[in-house]
Amino acid sequence: MRLEDQTVVITGAASGIGQATAERCAEEGAHVIVTDIDTEGGQAVAEAIEESGGEATFYELDVTDSEQFHAVVDAVADDDGLDVMINNAGTGHPGGSLEELGDDIRDFVIDINIKGVWNGCHAALPHLKAQGHGAIVNVGSLASILGLPKQSAYSMSKGAVLNMTRAVAAEAGPYGVRANTVCPGFTETSLLEQYLEEQADPEKAREQMIEQYPLKRLAEPEEIADAILFLASEESSFVNGHGLVVDGGFSA
């Protein structure tokens, strides 16, 4: 198993890509630390993993709270060690031109998508560097490499995630710690459903979205989880500072 006896912390693991990643990591032998601001959902994911024979522990975590983030990661590292930090928690925002978006939306997106990832790296790196090995996987987006119209705050935040990951990779590499980003295309999650519901004709919007993908479908959370698992495992032992695009050919 690719993550046997390793401890993996995952943020935003109560649903979507985070949940799928938690389940895949557990299947590969990891002790999964499920974290989310959604206590009920996060506990349900951890319990389901345990019931299926895996090992999981839930911690309530608001990724925008640096002090809480450090406390959770320090507790995990002290009790179980720390091998992989997966910064998955993220948010989007209603579509709108840059000048239409208010400061409140901008700041909300920055707090979760940028500061949340920063907090995860900041909390995990001292432990990973001290032991001389480990991996960080940050979840970006197609918006990490493409500017999405009507999504300026989201595009800004996800572009920052990719470039911050490169900086972390350059700094932490000499200590044996790798950092990479997964950049998914549109994925069948509740975040996507929220986006579609904001459109005048959600079903037509979905059809138009699918038409832009050469594979003529959107990603499933498990497919993104497989890419995250690859970057978390030793199968990617010489991959560092990379943005792995998983978009069914959209950006091609």
Contacts of residue 145, defined as CB under 8 A and 6 or more positions apart, other chains included, come to 159, 162, 183, 243, 245, 251
pLDDT at residue 30 in the model: 98
Instruction: For 69-83, write each residue's pLDDT tens digit.
Output: 999 999 999 999 999
The total domain count for the chain is 2
Catalytic sites, residue numbers: 154
pLDDT at residue 191 in the model: 79
Looking at the fold, whether 25 and 134 belong to one and the same domain comes out as yes
Looking at the fold, whether 89 and 199 belong to one and the same domain comes out as no
pLDDT at residue 240 in the model: 98
Looking at the fold, whether 225 and 204 belong to one and the same domain comes out as no
Looking at the fold, whether 214 and 230 belong to one and the same domain comes out as no
pLDDT at residue 123 in the model: 98
High-pLDDT (> 90) share of the chain, %: 88
**Residue range of the domain that includes 209:** 188-218
Looking at the fold, whether 72 and 196 belong to one and the same domain comes out as no
pLDDT at residue 223 in the model: 98
pTM score, whole prediction:
0.96
Looking at the fold, whether 214 and 107 belong to one and the same domain comes out as no
pLDDT at residue 196 in the model: 82
Looking at the fold, whether 194 and 88 belong to one and the same domain comes out as no
Looking at the fold, whether 119 and 210 belong to one and the same domain comes out as no
Spans of the chain below 50 pLDDT: none
Looking at the fold, whether 110 and 41 belong to one and the same domain comes out as yes
Element housing 162 (H / E) = helix 152-172
The answer to the question of residue 161 being in a domain is: yes
The answer to the question of residue 72 being in a domain is: yes
Helix (H, G, I), strand (E, B) or coil at 36: strand
**Cβ atoms of 240 and 178 closer than 8 Å:** yes
